[in-house]
Copies of this chain bind each other. A is one copy, B any other.
């Protein structure tokens, strides 16, 4: 399902109509960007400031803690 865009990286996941997880490279570092986008006048999706770019290490910690987050959600519900 991943779409490769050499300029903006790989869209690994569309978490909503205007939110994406994009894997991209910046100065030889891989970043996992969880971010909101907007559609410009040319109907191109452009990134907004709303979001966060995780390093590979930070992404690993997040991806290994899905269960902890789900537990916190249950606790909060």
Contact = CB atoms under 8 A, between A and B. Distances in A.
Given A30-B76, A71-B12, A76-B10, A36 B52 contact: yes
A61 interface: yes
The dominant DSSP class at the A interface is strand
B34 A2 contact: no
Nearest to A13: B65
B19 A76 contact: no
Interface residues of A, number: 44
Nearest to A73: B23
A13 B61 contact: yes
Interface in A56-75: 56-59, 61-63, 65-66, 68-73, 75
